Structure 1
Amino acid sequence: MKYGRAPKAEAQEPPKRRLKTKPLLILIAILLVTNLLWFIGWLIPDPPKIAATNEEVASVAGVPITREEWMSAMEKEVGREVLLDLVNDKVMEAAAKQYGIDVSDKEIDLELALIRSMDGQSYSGIDAEKMRQNIRANLILEKVLTKDVVIKDKAVKDYYKENASLYNTLTAYRISMIIVPTKKEAEQAMEELAKGSSFDALAKERSVDFASASLGGDIGYVNEATKFVDSAIFQAAANTKKGDHTDAVKLSNGTYAIVQVNDMIEGQSFTYQEVKDHVRREIALEQLSQSVTPEAFWQEFNATWFYGK
Structure 2
Amino acid sequence: MSSTRNRRPSTTVTPNQTPLLQRRLKTKPALAVIAILLLGNILWFISWLIPNKGQEIGSDEQVAAIDGDVITRQEWMIAMEERYGKETLQNLVNESVMEKAAKTYKIKVTDKEIDLELALMRSAQDKFDTAMQNLSVEQLRQKIRSQLILDKVLTKDVVIEEESVEKYYEENQGLYNTKTSYRTNFIEVDSKKAADEALGELKNGSDFTVLAREISVDSASASLGGDIGFLTENQENVDPTIINTVKSLKANEVSKAFKLDNGHYGIVQVQEVLEGQSFTYDDVKEHIERELALEQLTQSVTPEAFWSEFNATWYYGESKKEK
After superposition, residues 99-178 of structure 1 pair within 5 angstroms as 99-118=105-124, 120-121=126-127, 122=129, 123-178=132-187
Instruction: Pick the aligned partner of 1:12 from 11, 14, 18.
Output: 14
After superposition, residues 1-309 of structure 1 pair within 5 angstroms as 2-3=3-4, 6-13=8-15, 14-16=17-19, 17-18=22-23, 19-38=25-44, 44=49, 49-51=54-56, 53-118=59-124, 120-121=126-127, 122=129, 123-305=132-314, 306-307=316-317, 308=321
Question: 1:249 and 1:126, CA in 2 relative to 1: closer, same or farther beyond 3 A?
Answer: farther
Task: Say which is worse superposed, 46-55 or 106-115, in terms of deviation.
Answer: 46-55
The one-letter code matched in structure 2 to 1:115 is: M
The one-letter code matched in structure 2 to 1:173 is: Y
Question: 1:45 and 1:79, CA in 2 relative to 1: closer, same or farther beyond 3 A?
Answer: closer
- Structure 1 unaligned spans of 5+: none
Tell me the secondary structure at the aligned position of residue 75 of structure 2: helix
For the 8 Å contact 1:92–1:141, the answer to whether it is kept is: yes
Please state how far the C-alpha of 1:119 moved relative to its aligned partner.
5.7
Paired with 2:239 and 2:50, the residues of 1 have a C-alpha distance of 34
Please state how far the C-alpha of 1:56 moved relative to its aligned partner.
3.0
CA deviation profile, 1:141-172 (whole Å, cap 9, x unmatched): 11111110000111111111111111111111
Question: 1:41 and 1:87, CA in 2 relative to 1: closer, same or farther beyond 3 A?
Answer: closer
For the 8 Å contact 1:120–1:228, the answer to whether it is kept is: no
Percent identical across equivalent pairs?
53
Question: 1:35 and 1:185, CA in 2 relative to 1: closer, same or farther beyond 3 A?
Answer: farther
Question: 1:83 and 1:45, CA in 2 relative to 1: closer, same or farther beyond 3 A?
Answer: closer
CA deviation profile, 1:56-95 (whole Å, cap 9, x unmatched): 3334454432221111011111111211221111111111
Across the aligned residues of Structure 1 and Structure 2, the Cα RMSD in angstroms comes to 2.2
CA deviation profile, 1:29-68 (whole Å, cap 9, x unmatched): 12223335545666x5975851552233334454432221
For the 8 Å contact 1:9–1:149, the answer to whether it is kept is: yes
For the 8 Å contact 1:176–1:261, the answer to whether it is kept is: yes
Paired with 1:156 and 1:10, the residues of 2 have a C-alpha distance of 12
Task: Say which is worse superposed, 180-189 or 164-173, in terms of deviation.
Answer: 180-189
For the 8 Å contact 1:172–1:221, the answer to whether it is kept is: yes
Name whichever structure is richer in helix by fraction: 2
Question: 1:79 and 1:152, CA in 2 relative to 1: closer, same or farther beyond 3 A?
Answer: same
Paired with 1:80 and 1:97, the residues of 2 have a C-alpha distance of 26
Paired with 1:34 and 1:107, the residues of 2 have a C-alpha distance of 20
Paired with 1:234 and 1:249, the residues of 2 have a C-alpha distance of 12
Please state how far the C-alpha of 1:108 moved relative to its aligned partner.
0.8
Question: 1:226 and 1:11, CA in 2 relative to 1: closer, same or farther beyond 3 A?
Answer: same
Question: 1:36 and 1:212, CA in 2 relative to 1: closer, same or farther beyond 3 A?
Answer: farther
Tell me the secondary structure at the aligned position of residue 86 of structure 2: helix
Please state how far the C-alpha of 1:203 moved relative to its aligned partner.
1.4
Tell me the secondary structure at the aligned position of residue 270 of structure 2: strand
The one-letter code matched in structure 1 to 2:39 is: V
The one-letter code matched in structure 2 to 1:7 is: P
The one-letter code matched in structure 1 to 2:88 is: V
The one-letter code matched in structure 2 to 1:9 is: T
Tell me the secondary structure at the aligned position of residue 18 of structure 2: coil
CA deviation profile, 1:179-225 (whole Å, cap 9, x unmatched): 22222211111111101111111112222233322332222212124
Task: Say which is worse superposed, 249-258 or 97-106, in terms of deviation.
Answer: 249-258
